Homo-oligomer: A and B are copies of this chain.
């Protein structure tokens, strides 16, 4: 184990390569955090800007101070713990996640990455490791309501966004004030393109790939683009008893064929793109009336925006045929369009190599869910580390990741951070 070469740099590298987070402490902190906003069924209800959110943020700031971070809240309400680097002119490395939850959600979502980042920072301090780069440990506010805190530093928030009423019943503007930000000074929180050396986030997968394939660590290729449309199908409402089958313009029959077509088209192409119809309403919606109108939806996600466009065009083509055969008319209104955010290949390699050194298996995979990284990518290169979610369940009280998987993830975060610190 002892090296013959006494150079300080080599000694530092050697000792650093053996660093491990305190897994017991990490998982204890996660369990303590899960008490704040705990629901009777063991989940977490801690929507952004709620009292529980405020209490959880205070808990996170206490842990940050214990980890000797210089803790502050930016004008947008993000919690940022700073530690100086050995080379102050380098751009900061940022690690972190979020601690707000969806309504009736789980106890792992962004919590693992937030507490994991704090644990990494504490491990560095306890082992007297100071990075070359300044370190920022971040807890972004209101990720679940639309990556609000990270958007605030990456591009700024519009007035329209600030007026959105959130699950806490507060607007985003009111919420920012509630958690200690300053909605009048939001411009001060916005950072410039290139301001970050890198952003690294640990997160639970929220899908079932790692769990079902028994892989320790997911190396995220990117955060998929998310495209949503409201879809309206207009036919003609008629008496279900007296209208012969060949005289109907049944909007629900047309919608059914559309739903099947979406699935067929999305699954007919190689790759990991997904397509979902999640909403449907038939009007009038009665046993004895042929539906005259249907409101439904379309959601497409992929790492490649061009592939999404191609799928959408194929869906449109099938819809034209369905319209002709059923005497109906479809309308698509795009309501969400977030572009794919690719992770940086060098960061992916740092994650893979860190995992390999720790004896952990890895798999490259896309993130089907949105994350703060999709905003932060405007400021610098990003990387994401996934750990397995039991049965792929997320946003639910049944969300669960094993303590050892969480510890593995934090150790990979630690070592990938050290590698990036050495590289950049």
Contact = CB atoms under 8 A, between A and B. Distances in A.
Interface of A: 205-209, 212, 224, 226, 228, 238-247, 250, 252-253, 255-260, 263, 266-267, 272, 274-282, 284-291, 297, 299, 301, 336, 367-370, 392-395
A266 B253 CA distance: 13
Contacts of A263: 245, 250, 253
A208 B245 contact: no
B278 A287 contact: yes
B301 A241 contact: yes
Contact of A267 (B212, B245, B256): B245
A228 to B, nearest CB: 5
Given A207-B244, A246-B267, A278-B286, 20 more contacts: A206-B241, A207-B247, A208-B247, A212-B247, A224-B241, A240-B368, A241-B369, A242-B368, A243-B274, A243-B368, A244-B272, A245-B266, A245-B274, A256-B259, A260-B260, A278-B284, A278-B288, A281-B285, A287-B297, A288-B299
A228 B287 contact: yes
A205 B242 contact: yes
Contacts of A278: 240, 252, 282, 284-291
A58 B340 CA distance: 70
Contacts of A253: 259-260, 263, 277
A244 B280 contact: no
A259 B267 contact: no
B252 A259 contact: yes
Contacts of A245: 263, 266-267, 274-275
Contact of A392 (B209, B242, B259, B281): B242
A212 B392 CA distance: 55
A200 to B, nearest CB: 20
A283 to B, nearest CB: 10
A128 B358 CA distance: 108
A242 B203 CA distance: 13
Contact of A207 (B209, B242, B367): B242
A266 B240 CA distance: 13
